[in-house]
A = this chain, B = another copy of it.
Amino acid sequence: MLTQSLNAPAISTSITRGKIAPALHPVSDKFGAIAGHVGLVATEFSYRKEEEIYGEDEPAEYVYQVVSGAVRSYKLLSDGRRQIGAFHLPGDVFGLESGATHRLAAEAIIDTTVRLVKRTSLEKAAGTDVQVARKLWAMTASELRHAEDHMLLLGRKTAMERVATFLLEMDRRLAVASMMALPMCRRDIGDYLGLTLETVSRALSQLHAQGILGFSGARQIVLRNRARLHNLDA
Contacts and interface: CB of A to CB of B under 8 A. Distances in A.
A152 B79 CA distance: 13
The number of times this chain is found in the oligomer is 2
B97 A141 contact: yes
B234 A137 contact: no
A104 B104 CA distance: 24
A151 B152 contact: no
Residue among A81, A136, A148, A157 with the most chain B CB within 10 A? A148
Nearest to A141: B98
Nearest to A137: B137
Interface in A123-167: 126-128, 130, 133-134, 136-138, 140-145, 147-152, 154-157
Given A97-B141, A130-B130, A147-B147, A156 B194 contact: yes
A194 to B, nearest CB: 3
B156 A81 contact: yes
A53 B134 CA distance: 26
A26 interface: no
A143 B78 CA distance: 23
A119 interface: no
Interface string A174-213: 0000000000000000010110000000000000000000
Interface of A: 75, 77-79, 81-83, 85, 97-99, 103-104, 126-128, 130, 133-134, 136-138, 140-145, 147-152, 154-157, 191, 193-194, 234
The 10 closest A-B pairs by CB, nearest first: A98-B141, A155-B194, A147-B147, A154-B154, A133-B133, A137-B137, A77-B234, A83-B152, A83-B155, A81-B156
Given A147-B147, A150-B151, 16 more contacts: A75-B148, A78-B234, A81-B234, A82-B156, A83-B155, A85-B152, A103-B144, A103-B148, A126-B130, A126-B134, A127-B130, A130-B130, A130-B133, A137-B137, A143-B144, A154-B155
